[in-house]
A = this chain, B = another copy of it.
Amino acid sequence: MSNGNFVSILDSSLRDGAQGEGISFSLQDKISIVKALDNLGVSYIEAGNPSSNPKDAEFFKKAKSLSLNNAKLVSFGSTRRKGVSCATDEAVNALLAAETPVVSVFGKSWLAQVKKILHVTPEENLDMIRETVAFLTERGRTVLFDAEHFFDGWKQNGEYALKTLEAAVEGGASIVTLCDTKGGAMPLDVYEPVFTVVRRLVRKTEIGIHTHNDAGLAVANSLMAIHAGASHVQGTMLGFGERSGNANLSTIIANLELKLGYKCLPDGRISDLTPVCRKIAEITNISLDQGMPYIGMNAFAHKAGMHTDAVLKDSTAYEHIDPAAVGNNRVILISEVTGRSAIIEKLHSTFPEITKESPVAAKIVSRIKAMEKDGYQFEGAEGSFNLLARKILGKYKPFFSLQYYKVIGEQHVEENPATSFAQIKISVNGETTITAGEGLGPVHALDVALRSALEKFYPVVRTMRLTDFKVRVLDSKDATAAKVRVLVESTDGINMWTTVGVSTDLIEASWIALVDSFEYKLSVSS
């Protein structure tokens, strides 16, 4: 039964989410995600379909020894096949064998599908639902019934769709979930059927909602169902899933808890939403959409001059919630449209002596503006930004000076693959050194050569390595003579920094970004 303002959450990242393109979990991934979700405090974790996937069956075997604090594990499968008893149906027995406290059973609520796909009479479909739910309930399982295609069924034959729910309730289902399987429902199409179902089944079962994002409305449709009386939401924490994905639970939980007065998680857990979601993205090996509501890197990032001034004056003007409420942070981006005060704010956070009034502030701002006109972009290139400021502030002492570099790329048909060589000459405190490097491309070769030159003088560069490399062609209409901007991301195992270079020459642009990366590391280490 619905308990006041509590909405139970079922995360299906490991089951429905695993249908998403490029998503594939190892057994260890699954266990790590279960732990992360349990920690956050969702009510149910739907972790697989033991009959359709041998890896899932193995997972459930392993999962028996897991002790969870908040969540209950759920195995997922279909109603029994036509013409057999539950006791002899392999898939139903696989659900029992999974030994999860909760079982989710899906069945058809769209009459057209009952005939076309299952090839059974409407009555046998109701029997299949009732008997399967009852079979599992009698064996001690809490049973959730997923009414597949409920909203399509509602349009075709609402009375029959309701009967499928009632069959599940007769079997003893604890929650009956209405699914927008195709993800095409509009918000107002969701409200009314849910409202009718809630009234019809009140005090007999809880009503849940399961939506997909094919019309960009999975979150909104889930909220509309809650407004209509549902008290259970299914989705995936990061919204991944087949096609356009499942309902994004991180967004739904934040909306329900912070905007609409519902409770979904144990007290205080909402402030872990961002770190838990980023951990799940890490384990799943997907790059999280930077703009993802509430939890994305840029969810509270501000770029525009006008806006950032206002945000700094009064954060309630451009932030719908305090980022800390979900464990996220405000970010001020530096860009061509950034106002002076945002740049100064950013400088101030690293060099507290710089204020709006410092004459050097104006100098830095105008230098940045000039470089931006030249194609530079310091947003996301904090390393270069910091280095530039140091140089203008007189806080930078050159570590080396370049005499020349030379890069040779060669392809002889007899040889494979093509090779690149670099030769550089630098001097450090009057001492000159020439080194060479070979690499998988010109930038790689330059990296190898520069690193080997600098290591002699600054052993600390051994701790750093490049982790990412991006090329953006500016004004690409000039084709091969166009300007390029290169971003290089580096790490020393503890910190990460990004640097930028711009030139019409790809090699020079890469070189500039590369040198900035080494200089940044040397600056902050000395």
Residue numbers of A with Cβ under 8 A of B are 18-22, 24, 26, 28, 52-53, 55, 78, 113, 116-117, 149, 181-184, 186-188, 213-217, 219-221, 223-224, 227, 240, 242-245, 248, 251-252, 254-255, 259-260, 285, 289-294, 296, 298-307, 310, 313-314, 317-321, 333, 335-337, 377, 379-380, 401-413, 417-420, 439-444, 446-447, 465-477, 479-482, 484, 488-489, 503-508, 510-511, 514
Whether the Cβ atoms of B18 and A411 lie closer than 8 Å is no
A283: min CB distance to chain B, Å? 9
Chain B residues closer than 8 Å to A294, beta-carbon distance: 214-215
Whether the Cβ atoms of B117 and A418 lie closer than 8 Å is no
A291: min CB distance to chain B, Å? 4
A480/B291 contact (C-beta < 8 A), A24-B377, A215-B259, A223-B187 known: no
Chain B residues closer than 8 Å to A333, beta-carbon distance: 21
Chain B residues closer than 8 Å to A243, beta-carbon distance: 291, 298-302
Whether the Cβ atoms of B413 and A406 lie closer than 8 Å is no
Out of B182, B289, B476, B504, name the residue touching A417 (CB < 8 Å). B504
Whether the Cβ atoms of B186 and A259 lie closer than 8 Å is yes
A212: min CB distance to chain B, Å? 9
Whether the Cβ atoms of B472 and A503 lie closer than 8 Å is no
A53/B336 contact (C-beta < 8 A), A116-B314, A244-B293, A441-B505 known: yes
Chain B residues closer than 8 Å to A251, beta-carbon distance: 215-216
Given contacts A409-B507, A419-B505, A466-B480, 7 further A-B contacts (CB under 8 A): A19-B337, A182-B318, A243-B299, A403-B412, A409-B505, A442-B507, A444-B480
Chain B residues closer than 8 Å to A440, beta-carbon distance: 480-481, 504-505
A-B contact pairs, 27 of them (CB 8 A): A21-B301, A53-B337, A113-B317, A116-B314, A149-B317, A182-B319, A186-B223, A188-B227, A215-B254, A215-B259, A240-B291, A242-B301, A243-B291, A244-B296, A285-B473, A405-B411, A406-B408, A407-B408, A409-B442, A411-B508, A417-B504, A418-B503, A418-B507, A446-B480, A447-B480, A468-B473, A480-B510
